[in-house]
Structure 1
Amino acid sequence: MNYRLGAFGFLSSDELARKGTPNAGLLDQQLALQWIQQYIHLFGGNNRKVTIFGESAGAGSVMLHDIAYGGTLGTSLFRNPITASPYLAFQYGYKDRQPSQAYYAFASAAGCDVRGAYLHNGSKPIFDCLQAADSATRMNDNVDVSQSERPSKALADGKVNGLNHLAGSNAFEGASWVQPGAINTVDDLVDFLRVTFPNFSNNDIAKILL
């Protein structure tokens, strides 16, 4: 089953959470799992023994389904999740600075006025403007954002779905992500940390550099 990507599937902000549906891409995947539960018996399958597998970004999706709804789904959609070299972008809160700035940037590129966010100056809501924009415009201005809850905390708290989780990594899986010459100096590293972790203080960065 195809699922929505980028802004169509994972755009996030406080306004979108209030007026729309965050993580639509994951909900598309969940619909496929629900379909399997309902119809797999017609293909000789057993809906009590469903295994889901993903590699790289697909493994990231598997992990997110593993912690969906605080682990309260149990084995209702799948029994065994398998992840190979899971890729997960940095996980921010759905209305943190990074996803919010991406939301505003996407809206601005789509021709929406973002200066009056949340109607402080009586302007049209950004969400309504995005709904009115044509699909071609939104596709061209597509950006990646985040999902709502941090997986690290959910995993640490043991709030997971499924029964058995098999995880592994492929050899040299991350080599293509490491560009030669990307970080050669301390200043390069500091710049990377500031962009990647915008809430880090100078003291936080200093501790990393020790």
Structure 2
Amino acid sequence: MQGHGYAQPVKQPPHIAWLVFLRVLFVVIGIFSIGFLTWAMMLRLAIVTRKSLDWGVFVAVLAANILSLVLLATEPGDEIHTAGGNLGITLLLGTLVAAIAYYLAADIRHFHRLHDAFTAHRSMAPAYGYPAAPSPYTATTVPSVPHTPPPMPHTPLSQPPIPAPPQRPAPARIDQVRAELDELSDYLRKQDGHHDGHHEGGR
């Protein structure tokens, strides 16, 4: 059973400043050569995009430049006054304008797609389970230790409170109560004897 494998890495597109410089450079080459080097910008576009359509456009532009050069070469004088010469210069300049428009549009569209694909790849790579490679500046040699949860403290089961045994009165307290009762009994006896004697004397 085979897995899904690894995703194909997406190449980061060049910086926008470098792309603008190349576009301006090839357009200037085509203009200053009066259209004779228009095929150069189409060659670069075909190499960058690697599309069969762009290779076909390059061949067509190259053929148009060669045909224009042949028609202009048949002009007998320095000035253009024949139909062949007029056709050659028209074809040359028309090819230059069309090639510049196509070159800029295709080149901008191509690198815009590359930039979107690179951004989407960077944002979606962790979601598909491809973690980013660790940075060599942050890598360490400390072995990873598996994380184990701390043991839970043992909580004893709640038990009903044990009733305290009834306390017995101390012997000293009992003796004190007995002595108080004896004194109370003697006092009552004295009171009874006193009342009896007083009553008999009154008879």
The structure with the largest alpha-carbon Rg is 2
- TM-score, normalised relative to structure 2: 0.20
Whichever structure has more helix as a proportion of its residues is 2
Determine which structure has greater relative contact order: mean sequence separation of CA pairs < 8 Å that are 6+ residues apart, divided by chain length. 1
- TM-score of the superposition, structure 1-length normalised? 0.19
